[in-house]
Amino acid sequence: MLDVEAIRKVFPALERQLGGRPVIFADNAATSLKPLCVIQAVDYYYRHLCANVHRGVNVLAQEADALYEDSRNSIASLIHARPAEVIFVRNTTEAINLAAHLLDLTKKDDVICSLTEHHSNFLPWLARANVRCVAPDERGRVTPGAFLEAATPKTKLFALGHVSNVTGVVSPVADIIQEARKRGILTLVDAAQSVSHMPLDVQSLGCDFLAFSGHKMFGPSGIGVLWAREEFLKSRPPMLFGGGMVTSVSEDGFQVQPPPHGFEAGTPNIEGTLGMGAAAQFLMGLDMDNVRDHSRRLAEALINAVASVSGLRAFPLDSSADRVPIVSFAVGSMSPDDVAAILCNRYNIMVRSGVHCAEPLVRHFGQRGLVRVSLSVYNTLDEIAYIGESLKSLSSILAR
């Protein structure tokens, strides 16, 4: 079981107060707070290194190299992958765009997405291929059956969000991937919301691509990861060309380094990588099974707290699916921006409002926008109770 109080102590941002009152950070689906180890990793780089990587033989450069690759190893360990298949990019969006590039899709190819996808796992496909969307069921899940029903002989890829950033519902991606493999359909998993809530094992999942960001798993922003099976990394040229990704260059041509370095052109976000590596170490130190248990407890408490507020509707209406502690809702017909602003100003609860970069899903619920509460390892049951009471207080002034 997680010692939440001990965890909270290593997140300095939790000490922040507004108006003399503590802040409840409930916008973790947007980005997460950073533990001391991540801050120290970035700080160490700036104070003691500041050397470029993969370019120098001096001591500082060598140390930077070692730390950089160590971070790659940590990420690989986190997702049970081979380091050579871990490519550092800016974020999940760039990771998925890189995957789309590697797949070399055309408008003749079908890609199956679900309506629950974040725009970053929808638009790269919409821009390149023919996309068919699958609606979630009444519990907010996308099922293997729905994907298979939508598949055609031209279907090349299932683009799967592991956890919806709007509803928190966990989709049965392992089952979907299994069915896809039987039919020779490739799979990409958007793990941006799941990586900080549950163990990930690309080997047992069986997917072909996995994408996630550093900043949602307690790491810095500007860094993310695409994991891809080696066969894809060797079959297509990189997306970016420049320094650091070649073994030799002449006037007539160049030789690209093997993966992963061949896909990391230019000076990378070194400090971000070191921070992300520290974040991976932090998560592994918590034990991801414990993290998952805590996540489930928070999710249950959050759903119950929100359900107890009259005049408030959470989506999906059937809340029985497995989920992480993310819930989106509407308060009567109040503007979600108004609700979010009041929750911040009056109750010091930081949430998000709007379509959450998932406009098709929000419209599917018949809404123009929703308020979203999203929690993480450092949130407590007391905070959830306070969120519930605050919502009740706000809702109580509304006429029915």
Partner 1 sequence: MNYVARVAADAADRAYRRYRYYLYWRGQERMYRRRSREELRAAQWAKFRNLLEYACERIPLYREKFPKAGVTPESIRKPEDLLRIPVLTKDEIRQNFPDRLVAGDRKFQPDQIRQTSGSTGESLHFIRPEVGWTRTIQYSALLRTGRISNIPVVSLTTPHCTAATCSLQEQRSGPGMWISKYQKIRFLRHLDPLVELPSSDDILCAPGQYLEQLVGIISYLEPCILFGDPVYLGSLALHLKKARKTVPSVRCVVTTFELLTGSLRDRLREVFGCEVYTQYGASEVLDIANECEHHKLHVRTNIVMVEAIRDGVPAKPGEIGRAVITDLENYNMPLIRYDIGDLVQVGDGPCQCGRNTDVLEHVHGRTRDLIAPAGAGNGRALTPLQVDEVFRGLGGIAAYRFVQRSENQYDVAIMPDGLGDGFDRQALEGRCRAMFGSGSRFNITSVEGIKPERSGKFRFVYSQFSPGVV
CB 340 within 8 A of CB 387: no
- Beta pairing class for 110-114 and 130-134: parallel
Which member of 345, 363, 382, 385 binds partner 1 (CB under 8 A)?
345
The answer, yes or no, to whether the previous bond of 325 is cis (omega within 30 of 0) is no
Which CB atom, from 60 or from 341, has the smaller least distance to partner 1? 341
Cis peptide before 260 (omega within 30 of 0): yes
What is the nearest approach in angstroms of partner 1 to the Cβ of residue 369?
9
Segment lying near partner 1 (by CB under 8 A), choices 126-134, 211-219, 269-277, 339-347: 339-347
Q: Is 355 in the site for partner 1 (CB under 8 A)?
A: no
Asked if 335 touches partner 1 (CB under 8 A), the answer is: yes
C-beta of 185 vs 391, nearer to partner 1: 391
User: Could you tell me which stretch among 76-84, 110-118, 213-221, 331-339 binds partner 1 (CB under 8 A)?
Assistant: 331-339
- The residue from 60, 126, 240, 398 that contacts partner 1 (CB under 8 A) is 398
What's the length of the chain? 400
- Asked whether position 333 contacts partner 1 by CB under 8 A, the answer is yes
Residue 205 binds to partner 1 (criterion: CB under 8 A)? no
CB nearer to partner 1: pick between 19 and 153 = 19
Beta bridge partners of 158: 112, 187
Contact 166, 328 (CB under 8 A): yes
13 to 52: interface string for partner 1, x by CB under 8 A: ------x---------------------------------
- Cβ pair 224, 91 in contact under 8 A: yes
Structure tokens belonging to residue 322: 């497995």
Among 203, 346, 382, 385, binds partner 1 (CB under 8 A): 346
Q: Closest Cα to residue 97, out of 262, 222, 211?
A: 211
Q: Give the pair of three-digit tokens for residue 329.
A: 């809702």
Do 29 and 374 touch, CB atoms closer than 8 A?
Answer: yes
**Contacts for 14-17 with beta carbons within 8 Å, 24 or more apart?**
14/378
CB of 312 to partner 1, least distance (A): 13
CB distance 158 to 112 below 8 Å: yes
Q: Is residue 342 close enough to count as binding partner 1 by CB under 8 A? A: yes
Q: Is 389 a binder of partner 1 (CB under 8 A)?
A: no
Nearer to partner 1, 111 or 349 (CB): 349
State yes or no: residue 310 binds partner 1 (CB under 8 A).
Answer: no
Q: Check binding of 332 to partner 1 (CB under 8 A).
A: yes
Question: In the bound complex, what is the minimum distance in angstroms from residue 396's beta carbon to partner 1?
Answer: 7
Catalytic residue annotation: 357
Q: How far is the CB of 331 from partner 1 (least distance, A)?
A: 8
Compute φ and ψ for 102, nearest 5 degrees.
-65, -30
Decide: is 337 part of the binding site for partner 1 (CB under 8 A): yes
Question: Taking the CA atoms of the chain, what radius of gyration do you get in angstroms?
Answer: 22
Interatomic CA distance for residues 207 and 253, integer angstroms? 34
Kindly state the smallest distance separating residue 363's Cβ from partner 1, in Å: 17
Q: Work out how close the CB of 367 gets to partner 1 at its nearest, in angstroms, rounded to a whole number.
A: 14
Going from the C-alpha of 9 to that of each of 19, 28, 40, 104, 377, the distances in angstroms are 21, 17, 15, 47, 12
**Is position 396 an interface residue for partner 1 (rule: CB under 8 A)?**
yes
The DSSP call for residue 12 is: G
What are the backbone angles phi and psi of residue 193, rounded to the nearest 5°? -90, -15
Concatenating the DSSP letter of every residue in 338-377 gives HHHHHHHHHH-EE-EEE-TT-HHHHHHTT-S-EEEEE--T
Stretch that binds partner 1, among 53-61, 150-158, 374-382, 388-396 (CB under 8 A): 388-396
Near partner 1 by CB under 8 A: residue from 84, 334, 355, 381: 334
The distance of closest approach from Cβ of residue 333 to partner 1 in the complex, given in angstroms and rounded to an integer, is 5
- For partner 1, the binding residues (CB under 8 A) are 19, 332-335, 337-338, 341-342, 345-346, 393-394, 396-400
